[in-house]
A and B are shown apart, each in its own frame.
Chain A
């Protein structure tokens, strides 16, 4: 069954590819679907065209006769079908071979490998053995990454639930994605927020549950001249740095001490069970309170006052909650 269908798809492709003019539906039916009823032919032909198109085969529809526009015909233009000639130097081919190892994301890793196979089919020998280059790894663990990537490519609006920093409740948002950008180690989506009527940026790790594509592909345009990277940087909250002075129990808090701004040994601590040191740390981004809380009774926050209060409040809530 599969074999027959492969034959039919490939023969259809070849037939449309080698003809200079549009091929009429009748002729296609007579040659490739001779034993099918009209209904069966229509159904099969529709599906076959769709499958070829989903592989990336550009099937054009046009009118065979300039005077009668009621008879559609089909063709595949060789220049649109084929990969353009790319002549790669050996070293260029080598870095392209390496690209297959970058994505740690199953679908994009496979797409990259497929692209490299096509280039290999052009006759480019790909040899990565000679190369001395640090191999980066590009991860995209955010569950919504695929949806935003596809939506960006297809220009399809997306609906999703989003929880903003510092809030517990998620709200439903509607976005026309312009691009997906990695910034400070995180993926963001940039686009036009149709609820707010303005451009917005969202951090993918804050998208709750599944993002859904809504609306038709190609239903909006990305404004000309949009630089998604610049937009993301302009709109994303600036990486803040926070400075804290904490007391750390002797023998604990290695990660804090390691990149501390300063450490003053043997200071008066909140208890006398061990010696204490005063450690000043700076941290980028959020999460200072999380990090300090993780040390439990080995770390005591002196300042800033807001951080100290956050830590105390959260501990109090935890004791009450259990």
Chain B
């Protein structure tokens, strides 16, 4: 909750923020501006702007006493101590009830949490859920959205701990790693930098001594990880920020154009593509950057015969040859 969200400037959003801010302050008496900003995810300067609007609001009488009082001198100017003091707003002491979407979102999230929890935690989640469900707004669709029973993500906490211990200790790791695109399981020694998340997967960012380059290892494909006695050899570096996408970094990529028939359209939802053009027959023409031709060939074989290579021609020939070779086994 500490990350500040961008402050929207609309009046509606400002009203929404104030309806949370006033009860937040009311419940706590005096709160430091920075603490309130962090807890509510609103930048401090925006919070001050919001408070200034509050000064102009109050009971409909029109007398000065009717208005909400905000001690601005405590927030700005030479006397400022950075503490927010709001009074005369008792009628806004309670936060607005949860909207149907908020109620549904949090209840479904808790149910998912429950499914991934052990017995004692499950009991805690059940108690919290019961209280929230009782308080949820009418119109919530919480009972109609079901996150399912299966654990939503495999529990990789033990592996994560091993990886993080190695990072903290500055020691090398030996990984047994599976690369599906090459159908290869390999052992490699790496200098770990940290665990990062992107596209719903967790990765270990590390310097790989076999590749002599930084590499990302998907956690669910690390079959074994052993902390070695040897210290890391490369300079310590913070793990990469994967916000820009993890495939953008490869220097050696080829732009390939594929033609996908309707049954293969899902590809564009699974892999980062550069461009998509719809075709009149419901198919797609797709540009994507390929770092590894073997990966592409496997994908095309999986999709056969619903995908073909439009360019470059060398890739098209290679794929036809691979399909012909596989077909040759049966003749």
**Which 4 interchain pairs have the tightest Cβ spacing?**
A123-B27, A317-B305, A179-B144, A82-B94
Q: B108 near A138 (CB under 8 angstroms)?
A: yes
Given known contacts A10-B18, A112-B106, A121 and B24 CB-to-CB distance under 8 angstroms: yes
Q: A180 near B11 (CB under 8 angstroms)?
A: no
- Which B residues lie within 8 Å of A56 (CB)? 96-99, 137
Given known contacts A95-B121, A95-B128, A138-B152, A314 and B96 CB-to-CB distance under 8 angstroms: no
With both chains docked as a complex, state the minimum distance between the C-beta of A148 and any C-beta of chain B, in angstroms.
10
Q: B117 near A134 (CB under 8 angstroms)?
A: yes
- Which B residues lie within 8 Å of A170 (CB)? 262, 282
- Which A residues lie within 8 Å of B300 (CB)? 318
Given known contacts A180-B145, A318-B304, A118 and B14 CB-to-CB distance under 8 angstroms: no
Interface residue B57 (Cβ < 8 Å from any Cβ of A):
yes
Q: B132 near A86 (CB under 8 angstroms)?
A: yes
- Which A residues lie within 8 Å of B266 (CB)? 205
Q: A2 near B10 (CB under 8 angstroms)?
A: yes
Of B96, B100, B121, the residue contacting A55 (CB under 8 A) is B96
C-alpha spacing A229/B142, complex, angstroms: 12
Query: How many residues of chain B have a CB within 8 Å of chain A?
Result: 114
Q: A7 near B124 (CB under 8 angstroms)?
A: no
Q: B53 near A6 (CB under 8 angstroms)?
A: yes
Given known contacts A17-B91, A118-B95, A322 and B150 CB-to-CB distance under 8 angstroms: no
Interface residue B78 (Cβ < 8 Å from any Cβ of A):
no
- Which A residues lie within 8 Å of B243 (CB)? none
Interface residue A51 (Cβ < 8 Å from any Cβ of B):
yes
Of B28, B145, B319, the residue contacting A123 (CB under 8 A) is B28
Interface residue A201 (Cβ < 8 Å from any Cβ of B):
no
- Which A residues lie within 8 Å of B230 (CB)? none
Stretch in A35-43, A192-200, A286-294 with 4+ CB within 8 Å of B: A286-294
Within 8 A of B (CB), among A87-122: 87-89, 91-100, 102-104, 107-122
Q: A290 near B12 (CB under 8 angstroms)?
A: no
Residue of B nearest to A128 (CB): B1
Within 8 A of A (CB), among B138-192: 139-141, 143-148, 150-153, 155, 157, 178, 180, 183-185
Stretch in A65-73, A247-255, A277-285 with 4+ CB within 8 Å of B: A247-255
Within 8 A of B (CB), among A247-301: 252-255, 258, 270-271, 290-291, 293-298, 300
Of B54, B141, B327, the residue contacting A315 (CB under 8 A) is B327
C-alpha spacing A152/B108, complex, angstroms: 14
List chain B positions with a Cβ less than 8 A from chain A. 1, 5, 9-12, 14-16, 18-21, 23-24, 27-28, 39-41, 52-54, 56-60, 62, 91-92, 94-106, 108-110, 112-113, 115-118, 121, 124-125, 127-128, 131-132, 134-135, 137, 139-141, 143-148, 150-153, 155, 157, 178, 180, 183-185, 200, 261-263, 265-266, 269, 282, 297-305, 308-309, 316, 319-320, 322-330
- Which A residues lie within 8 Å of B106 (CB)? 96, 99, 111-112, 115-116
- Which B residues lie within 8 Å of A17 (CB)? 91
C-alpha spacing A103/B153, complex, angstroms: 12
Q: A254 near B185 (CB under 8 angstroms)?
A: yes
Of A32, A115, A179, A182, the residue contacting B148 (CB under 8 A) is A182
- Which B residues lie within 8 Å of A149 (CB)? 104, 141, 145
Q: A153 near B100 (CB under 8 angstroms)?
A: yes
Given known contacts A7-B56, A81-B97, A118-B20, A319 and B125 CB-to-CB distance under 8 angstroms: no
Interface residue A57 (Cβ < 8 Å from any Cβ of B):
yes
- Which A residues lie within 8 Å of B185 (CB)? 254
Cross-chain pairs A/B with CB under 8 angstroms, 9 sampled = A56-B98, A56-B137, A95-B128, A118-B97, A123-B28, A179-B144, A228-B144, A318-B301, A318-B320
Of A91, A137, A291, A315, the residue contacting B323 (CB under 8 A) is A315
Residue of A nearest to B93 (CB): A82
- Which A residues lie within 8 Å of B62 (CB)? 31
Q: B323 near A168 (CB under 8 angstroms)?
A: no
Of B1, B53, B131, the residue contacting A116 (CB under 8 A) is B1
Given known contacts A141-B269, A185-B150, A55 and B16 CB-to-CB distance under 8 angstroms: yes
Given known contacts A18-B59, A113-B41, A181 and B102 CB-to-CB distance under 8 angstroms: no
Q: A296 near B325 (CB under 8 angstroms)?
A: yes
C-alpha spacing A68/B21, complex, angstroms: 40
Interface string of A11-30 (1 = CB under 8 A from B): 10111011000000000000
Max chain A CB contacts within 10 Å: which of B27, B116, B137, B146? B146
With both chains docked as a complex, state the minimum distance between the C-beta of B153 and any C-beta of chain A, in angstroms.
5
Interface string of A146-173 (1 = CB under 8 A from B): 0001001100000000010000111000
